[in-house]
Structure 1
Amino acid sequence: MEVSMENEPLKKGYKRTEIGIIPEDWAVTTLEQTTVPQRPISYGIVQTGPAVANGVKCIRVVDIVNGNIKDDNLITTSEEISNAYKRTKLKNGDLVIALRGKIGELAIVHKEIEGSNLTRGIALISQKKRFCSEYYKQYLSSSISKSRLQNLLNGSALQELPIATLRGFKVTVPSTDEQHAIATALSGVDALIAALDKLIAKKRAIKSAAMQQLLTGKKRLPGFGGNWEKVKLGKLFSFKNGLNKAKGFFGYGTPIVNYMDVFQSPVIYASNLEGRVSLSKAELKSFDVKKGDVFFTRTSETPEEIGIASVIFDDPVNTVYSGFVLRARSLDDRLSDRFKAYCFSSTFIRKQIITKASYTTRALTNGRILSEIVLPLPSKPEQDAISTVFFDMDAEIKALESRRTKTQAIKQAMMQELLTGRIRLI
């Protein structure tokens, strides 16, 4: 693992190798030399054929998620086809790596999927007992190893990590005890990250459930009662398509609200916009952005991604919006800006947007369609109370996400030190 410049000073007890400076008592070998000869590094089944009821489960690239194998949606193949690829039948503790798509993604096989097989996009790394699979999972998933692997990909349009390249990939070999010590330290941090991921997912699920209740009036907050008005969006907003310009006009000039700004967050601060476009005064006037404007994603390959909404929360200066989004500008003050950030996310609203969308080669919505969407409308005081609940939930989720980011950064620093032998645990 290349971890240092060639002219980095060499400390006592360390040596230079073709993959960087490592402790003198560590060795360098190829990944192939760490594996069981009877089960060499190999890719899986080329054609799994039709699904077979109660057949042999097969792992695809998409089944490797965050360093683990998701086994809730595995495809199956016949015993006959699987037996033709006996070498890649999985055993507990085997290491697997993606050769295509999410290239370099790794996971360790757990007991519940022992006996399953692999598809063509994944390779088996079945290591000898003196090599710790968890250590090599951490080693190969480090940023520097991934960079090295990236540089070794084939040059075709469909990039792939060749088996021969993987077999010849150079790795470090600490003692078995030190491999296990390093793996234990790093996997402990992984467990903390996984726990944070689980907690974040739980908080998001709670928020989603609350949105379906509070944004439809099925559940009311204390102190509120009475029926909600149901209003078509065309009575609340005027809609306008965004700016379309040639590619050469982008990258400099005036701030612009782009598709991903809307898609990624229910709230946009114009002061944080990164997109820029060069335009005329007439275009600036025609496609201007104001505080409280709501933007909807207009088109996507999937219907689930159209009509996603986001509201401008600050006072923009000389800001415009892209042709891939629609601007909805309020006709009156019946909707608070804070409520706008959430009211379009309920299942009730999303189903209307998706079912009313048009479909050609892409899913599409427009101002005419959105004008017919019916919104349950509480009083302004109840809007503020509801939005406060969701703002508090978002703050809690963001705090957990920040903690996860910091934990991930700590792990990266630990990997840099432990996987190079700069810090020794034994």
Structure 2
Amino acid sequence: MLEIENNLSGSDPPNLSSKDLYQINIKIPSESNEQKQIGTFLTKLDNLISLQQRKLEQLKQLKKTMLQQLFVQNKSETMPEVRFNNFNSEWQIKSLNELQTSVYSGIAGKTKDDFGHGEARYITYLNIHDNVVAKTSGVDRIERDLRQHKVEKGDLLFTISSEIPEEVALNSVWPGDNGKDLYLNSFCFGYRPMQNKVNPFFLSYYLRTPFLRKNIFPLAQGISRFNISKKSILDLSIALPQLKEQNDIYELLAKIDKIITQKNNNISQLKILKKFFLQKLFV
């Protein structure tokens, strides 16, 4: 591999001439049986990786189907396509504003020199952007400041700015209990739902469904960068089932996500294993 890299020319993209390729010397086992055994082993490992990747795609497709069938997907409907047993009542139409106890802004009054050190933490923009349920590890340091709003477990967090309208107002829910001296980054705002009416984890999944995302991103305003107001998000209407049904829906989706994460980890470990064997089996 190093010899190939040394013979590359150009940069956009780098290339290797057929003449240089033919002149590269390689070392191979003298016994054909050893070559076959190495080839068979690596082929089986590749097939196992491919199998795990197919299973991962099937799980992602299952989750996509569940998001479409377990939630109300039409403004004119009050029941989803699929229900759990013992649930048959209509979902109630509510605005997000009707379901909140408080709304708060992200960090204010800071400069770049205030970040990266200190005993307090703040939740990063990418953590919220990338995850339905925020990762407790997705935080950074900042100095304690009593003027800042503190994030609590179950708070929904919304991005308010993005480079493309399709990614504006992406939401996440904070799952941790370590809300002490935990703030929210400047480009987001926090939403604290009524816990006796709303499972915040259910709501976070619901707001990420294709149906609601299509209703949200047209509200973005801007040209080179897009923003959305808190009012636009709070005015959104959703169909809300009983709290018990919310809990059941969330628990099912959380289990699917857990299996997806495990499958991703398995694939990563198999790829690391393959890289290890490639380094050990070849000179």
Quickly name the TM-score band, shorter chain normalised.
Answer: 0.7 to 0.9
8 A contact 1:298–1:324 mirrored in 2: yes
**Aligned pair partner of 1:324 in 187, 190, 193:** 187
8 A contact 1:306–1:363 mirrored in 2: yes
Aligned to 1:161: 14
8 A contact 2:160–2:187 mirrored in 1: yes
Change (3 A) 1:195 1:405: same
Give, in angstroms, the shift of residue 320 of structure 1. Answer: 0.6
**Aligned pair partner of 2:66 in 202, 210, 218:** 210
Change (3 A) 1:389 1:170: same
Aligned to 1:301: 163
Identify which of structures 1 and 2 has the higher relative contact order when contacts are C-alpha pairs closer than 8 Å and 6+ apart: 2
Aligned to 2:89: 226
**Aligned pair partner of 2:128 in 262, 279, 288:** 262
**Aligned pair partner of 1:188 in 16, 22, 44:** 44
Aligned to 1:249: 114
8 A contact 2:116–2:140 mirrored in 1: yes
- Which runs of 5 or more structure 1 residues have no equivalent in the other structure? 2-18, 20-29, 32-147, 421-426
Change (3 A) 1:358 1:173: same
Q: Equivalent residue of 2:201, what SS?
A: helix
Q: Equivalent residue of 1:240, what SS?
A: strand
Which amino acid in structure 1 is aligned with residue 191 of structure 2? A
- Which runs of 5 or more structure 2 residues have no equivalent in the other structure? 73-79
Give, in angstroms, the shift of residue 287 of structure 1. Answer: 2.5
Give, in angstroms, the shift of residue 262 of structure 1. Answer: 1.1
Aligned to 1:343: 206
Q: What CA distance in whole angstroms lies between the structure 2 residues aligned with 1:239 and 1:159?
A: 48
Larger helix percent: 2
Aligned to 1:236: 99
Aligned to 1:26: none
Which amino acid in structure 1 is aligned with residue 165 of structure 2? P
Q: Equivalent residue of 2:191, what SS?
A: strand
Which amino acid in structure 2 is aligned with residue 173 of structure 1? K
Aligned to 2:76: none
Which amino acid in structure 2 is aligned with residue 222 of structure 1? N
Which structure has the greater CA radius of gyration? 1
8 A contact 2:154–2:192 mirrored in 1: yes
CA RMSD of aligned residues (A): 2.8
- In the superposition, the TM-score normalised over structure 2's length comes to 0.82
What count of residue pairs does the alignment treat as equivalent?
Answer: 267
Q: What CA distance in whole angstroms lies between the structure 2 residues aligned with 1:329 and 1:298?
A: 16
Q: Equivalent residue of 1:172, what SS?
A: coil
- In the superposition, the TM-score normalised over structure 1's length comes to 0.56
8 A contact 1:230–1:374 mirrored in 2: yes
Q: Equivalent residue of 1:323, what SS?
A: coil
Give, in angstroms, the shift of residue 269 of structure 1. Answer: 4.7
Aligned to 1:198: 54
Aligned to 1:172: 26
8 A contact 2:127–2:135 mirrored in 1: no
Change (3 A) 1:161 1:287: farther
- Report the identity percentage: 24
Aligned to 1:114: none
Give, in angstroms, the shift of residue 200 of structure 1. Answer: 0.8
Q: What CA distance in whole angstroms lies between the structure 1 residues aligned with 2:188 and 2:37?
A: 52
8 A contact 1:298–1:365 mirrored in 2: yes
Which amino acid in structure 1 is aligned with residue 27 of structure 2? V
Change (3 A) 1:159 1:290: farther
8 A contact 2:124–2:139 mirrored in 1: no
Show CA shifts across 1:155-180 (max 9, x none). Answer: xxx8653557x948966332595666
Change (3 A) 1:277 1:159: farther
Give, in angstroms, the shift of residue 206 of structure 1. Answer: 0.9
Q: Equivalent residue of 1:266, what SS?
A: coil
